[in-house]
Amino acid sequence: MKHLLSAADLTREDAITVLDTASQLAAATAQGVGKLPPLRGRTVVNLFYEDSTRTRTSFEAAAKRLSADVINFSAKGSSVSKGESLKDTALTLEAMGADAVVIRHHSSGAPHQLANSGWISGGVVNAGDGTHEHPTQALLDAYTLRRHLRDNTGDLAGVKVAIVGDVLHSRVARSNAILLQTLGASVRLVGPPTLLPFGVETWGCEVSYDLDSSLDDVDAVMMLRVQRERMNAAYFPSAHEYSNRYGLNSVRAARMPDHAIVMHPGPMNRGMEITADVADSPRSVIVEQVSNGVSVRMAVLYLLLGGTEGTA
Amino acid sequence: MTSYVITGGTLLGEEAADLLIEDGVISAIGSGLKGDVVVDASGCVILPGLVDLHTHLREPGREDAETVLSGSRAAAKGGFTCVHAMANTTPVADSAGVVEQVWRLGQQAGLVEVRPVGAVTMGLGGESLAELGAMADSAAHVRVFSDDGKCVYDAAIMRRALEYVKAFDGVIAQHAQEPRLTENAQMNEGVVSGKLGLAGWPAVAEEAIIARDVLLAQHVGARLHVCHLSTAGSVDIIRWAKARGINVTAEVTPHHLYFTDDVVESYNPIFKVNPPLRTAADVEAVRAGLADGTIDIVATDHAPHPSEDKDCEWSAAAFGMTGLESALSIVNATMVKSGAMTWAQVAERMSFAPARIGKVETQGQPLTVGSPANIVVFNPSIEAEVVPVNTASASRNTPYGGLTLPGQVVATFFAGRATVLEGELV
């Protein structure tokens, strides 16, 4: 694996290797030995064209825990904001000797271009591109699901996950729809028809417009962030109607099986797609997703840059 | 003036005959003809010079992308003897002054007949009519009017434009794109756009405008031309309109005959174009429509862009691809080799019909004695790889780079003068 651009780049075995490696790295970190040595002397660049405190920080923590040198290159306060092209920025990073570039970009496909244009020789990790994909988010979600539902081993065969909300604009939903199915889970996409992409019936997922009838057989519900501004483009009439029809509140959460967990990639709109009491309830694993994110990103960087696959 | 004998070719791929070009006209057709220069056309088809109804020459304003001269060179190399220069220049060709400027630059280049297209509305703004009559009466003799790149979205403005140009037998060439349905659109809306997370450009945004416009053309008894039709539904609407006797013509581009939207999975902006590449079902439908005459012509929508406008992320890239030099090879690959069309039909779709639609009297004439010598000699069996840096255009944004295409233009004659010989510009 040279790059991680899409969840579709991962076979079932690749994905399990990432999750197993993440698990071993999490255990090693938990022993409190401080930084691990495998990426000493390697340079990881975080190239962020969009504000993303949590993803950037997560990658930064992951790289540092593996002893890599980290350069944060954000669109604000750099030549990027002066209109420098992606190509020139890439050539600059290449000249600085970047071993891996973690890129977040508002344009779908920008990581593909970075990886396939010949501008840089290092590995590329997609940290979210436009409305396309966010594969490390899907990996951390799979990791979280596996910990809670499959004892942290193997795949997710038989697990049923509902992904709810603005699938159309969600890179998290796209990556999860691919990866969770690769790992054997079944996925149900739930949202208003306006927020489900054209061709969604080809994704292999079940599709529903009704949240109430989509909850009583699931092992997990993943709520997607919905921007209030979407109502200005008539995707839905009002924030109030959206949360009435597609928000996860405690009445709806009560329909879920007792063991089922509630997930959210953050940042949440409390009161919009999820109420505060559900977000803070015992079945919510939202905070844990964040810490799992660091372990999973350590595994991805380790496997891309480090030594042999599968051993930590 | 040098005379030329073209020997060993077949006229429209049918009758084997030699052809003598003297003093700007075809002076004899037969065998054993003598001239100053012999052009060996063995294995070649002889076609009337191609006429492009849809070319972006970018001058004035974007001379870094193309000039009238560089675009004329690309046209000649592709076998064209006439191009229609679209109006979306800077300044916009919405006045007699600008269209005359473009027309004069074309005359100076002298490689093809450059027919300026006039804008329908001032500044392509869609709100008030440009001085259509002044452009028609100018030295540029404009007959085709288009806001191409933008749609004349306002139904009342479109109706008036259709009516108004009847006075001088003009035609409105509509870029059919409902603007509200295509805000920020990046590619065809379909399975591929859903997967790639690129904002969709739905087929209905084209079809809804075409449906409206054919009804407007019927209502006011005017002539309508539909630019770069790209969807199966659009073909159906044109077929329906023609069956009702509505005076509508339509064009398809070579790239819509050739590519499907699957190529966008590469995220390579070389494939970013407006209207976007569509599905396999659409490609099949436009090919069938071109074969049966529902679609009247092939037009290139040659849209040159400098490298920096394509060497970037998809959403930042410019729409458009070059096409003058590859058009005939693509039509050969998609329509002739498959047996869907004869060379005589190619002559109709790429020379006779576009000249009729554009009211270009000296172009699109039959290969008979006395006709203006606008001729292309095409060898359909030479396989050649497309190498973008070898283009005669000032821009290299051909989507066919690296592909091997069937056929090569061996010679082009414009008004009796060789512009291309042995595959190279003279």
Chain B: residue nearest A85 by CA? B312
Residues of chain B positioned with their CB less than 8 A from the CB of A130: 197-198, 315
Query: What average pLDDT score do residues A155-170 get?
Result: 98
Which one-letter amino acid corresponds to residue B161? A
Residues of chain B positioned with their CB less than 8 A from the CB of A113: 267-268, 312-314
Question: Chain A: nearest CA to B62, how far in angstroms?
Answer: 20
User: Would you call B266 and A112 a contact, using CB atoms and an 8 Å cutoff?
Assistant: yes
Q: Does the pLDDT at position B282 exceed 90?
A: yes
- In the DSSP assignment, the letter for residue A81 is G
Note whether A187 and A206 are within 8 A (CB).
yes
Mean pLDDT of all residues belonging to chain A: 93
**Tokens linked to B164:** 């108004």
| Alpha-carbon gap, residue B199 to A137, rounded angstroms | 22
Which backbone phi and psi does B329 adopt, to 5 degrees?
-65, -40
- Taking phi first (over 0 means left), then psi (-120 to 50 degrees means alpha), and beta for anything else, what does residue B387 get? beta
Give the three-class secondary structure for B142: coil
Residues of chain A positioned with their CB less than 8 A from the CB of B204: none
Taking the CA atoms of B124, B128, B133 and B137 in sequence, report the sign of the dihedral they define.
negative
Mean pLDDT of all residues belonging to chain B: 98
Please tell me if residue B240 touches chain A, with a CB cutoff of 8 Å.
no
Please tell me if residue A222 touches chain B, with a CB cutoff of 8 Å.
no
Q: At what angle do helices B203-220 and B232-243 cross, to 10 degrees?
A: 10
| Alpha-carbon gap, residue A33 to A27, rounded angstroms | 10
Q: In what order do the strands lie in the sheet with B424-425?
A: B15-16, B10-11, B45-48, B375-385, B404-414, B417-421, B424-425
ipTM value greater than 0.90 = yes
| Alpha-carbon gap, residue B164 to B173, rounded angstroms | 14
Please tell me if residue A63 touches chain B, with a CB cutoff of 8 Å.
no
- What pLDDT, on a 0 to 100 scale, did the predictor assign at position A308? 42
Which of A105, A108, A116 has the most B C-beta neighbours within 10 Å, making it the best mutation to test the interface with B? A108
CA angle B323, B327, B330 (to 5 degrees): 120
Of A85, A117, A132, the CB nearest to B196: A132
Q: Does the pLDDT at position A77 exceed 60?
A: no
pLDDT tens readout for residues A258-290: 999 999 999 999 999 999 999 999 999 999 999
Question: Chain B: nearest CA to A106, how far in angstroms?
Answer: 9
Q: Does the pLDDT at position A31 exceed 70?
A: yes
A125 half-sphere exposure, CB direction, 13 A CA radius? 30
Chain B: residue nearest A171 by CA? B197
Query: What average pLDDT score do residues B389-412 get?
Result: 98
Residue A267: which of A172, A158, A197 has the closest Cα? A172
Which backbone phi and psi does B133 adopt, to 5 degrees?
-65, -40
Q: Does the pLDDT at position A7 exceed 80?
A: yes
**Tokens linked to B183:** 């805000």
User: Would you call A105 and B193 a contact, using CB atoms and an 8 Å cutoff?
Assistant: no
Note whether A175 and A135 are within 8 A (CB).
yes
User: Would you call B311 and A130 a contact, using CB atoms and an 8 Å cutoff?
Assistant: no
- What pLDDT, on a 0 to 100 scale, did the predictor assign at position A309? 40
Please tell me if residue A273 touches chain B, with a CB cutoff of 8 Å.
no
pLDDT tens readout for residues B153-183: 999 999 999 999 999 999 999 999 999 999 9
Question: Chain B: nearest CA to A199, how far in angstroms?
Answer: 4
| Alpha-carbon gap, residue A143 to B423, rounded angstroms | 61
Residues of chain B positioned with their CB less than 8 A from the CB of A49: none
pLDDT class of A82 with cuts at 50, 70, 90: low
Buried b (16+ CB within 10 A) or exposed e, B292-329: eebbbbbbbbbbbbbeebbbbbbbbbbbbbbbbbbbbb
Please tell me if residue B307 touches chain A, with a CB cutoff of 8 Å.
no
Which of B180, B181, B195 has the most A C-beta neighbours within 10 Å, making it the best mutation to test the interface with A? B195
Which of B267, B272, B311, B312 has the most A C-beta neighbours within 10 Å, making it the best mutation to test the interface with A? B267
Please tell me if residue B180 touches chain A, with a CB cutoff of 8 Å.
no
Q: Does the pLDDT at position A160 exceed 70?
A: yes
pLDDT class of A34 with cuts at 50, 70, 90: confident
Chain A: residue nearest B186 by CA? A108
Q: Is A255 a catalytic residue?
A: no
A70 half-sphere exposure, CB direction, 13 A CA radius? 19
| Alpha-carbon gap, residue A214 to A206, rounded angstroms | 10
Give the three-class secondary structure for B48: strand
Which one-letter amino acid corresponds to residue A131? T
Which of A113, A200, A201 has the most B C-beta neighbours within 10 Å, making it the best mutation to test the interface with B? A113
Which residues, listed in sequence order, are joined to residue A263 by a DSSP beta bridge? A222
Residues of chain A positioned with their CB less than 8 A from the CB of B199: 131
Note whether B126 and B150 are within 8 A (CB).
yes
- In the DSSP assignment, the letter for residue B208 is H
pLDDT tens readout for residues A106-159: 999 999 999 998 999 999 999 999 999 999 999 999 999 999 999 999 999 999
Residue B111: which of B415, B421, B405, B422 has the closest Cα? B415
Of B191, B314, B316, the CB nearest to A199: B191
Residues of chain A positioned with their CB less than 8 A from the CB of B313: 86, 105, 107, 109-110, 113
Please tell me if residue B276 touches chain A, with a CB cutoff of 8 Å.
no
pLDDT class of A73 with cuts at 50, 70, 90: confident
Residues of chain B positioned with their CB less than 8 A from the CB of A86: 312-313, 316
- What pLDDT, on a 0 to 100 scale, did the predictor assign at position A1? 82
Please tell me if residue A252 touches chain B, with a CB cutoff of 8 Å.
no
User: Would you call B313 and A132 a contact, using CB atoms and an 8 Å cutoff?
Assistant: no
- What pLDDT, on a 0 to 100 scale, did the predictor assign at position A307? 54
Please tell me if residue A194 touches chain B, with a CB cutoff of 8 Å.
no
The least confident of A83-87, A191-195, B188-192, B288-292 is A83-87
- What pLDDT, on a 0 to 100 scale, did the predictor assign at position A229? 78
More confident: A247 or A306: A247
Question: Chain A: nearest CA to B190, how far in angstroms?
Answer: 6
What is the number of other CB atoms lying within 10 angstroms of the CB of residue A30?
A: 9
Chain A from 168 to 187: CB within 8 A of any B CB: 171, 174
Q: Does the pLDDT at position A83 exceed 80?
A: no
User: Would you call B197 and A116 a contact, using CB atoms and an 8 Å cutoff?
Assistant: no
Domains (range + CATH), chain A: 7-133+290-305 (3.40.50.1370), 135-285 (3.40.50.1370)
Question: Chain B: nearest CA to A35, how far in angstroms?
Answer: 36
Domains (range + CATH), chain B: 49-365+393-398 (3.20.20.140)
Which residues, listed in sequence order, are joined to residue A62 by a DSSP beta bridge? none
Strands (E) in A117-260, as ranges, are 123-129, 160-164, 186-190, 206-208, 220-223
User: Would you call A131 and B197 a contact, using CB atoms and an 8 Å cutoff?
Assistant: yes
Cis previous bond, B275, omega within 30: yes
- What pLDDT, on a 0 to 100 scale, did the predictor assign at position A310? 38
Write the burial class of residue A231 (CB in 10 Å: 0-12 exposed, 13-18 middle, 19+ buried).
middle
Note whether B173 and B227 are within 8 A (CB).
yes
Residue B189: which of B175, B177, B173, B171 has the closest Cα? B177
Note whether B329 and B408 are within 8 A (CB).
yes
User: Would you call A198 and B197 a contact, using CB atoms and an 8 Å cutoff?
Assistant: no
Chain A: residue nearest B317 by CA? A107
Query: What average pLDDT score do residues B38-67 get?
Result: 98
Which one-letter amino acid corresponds to residue B149? G
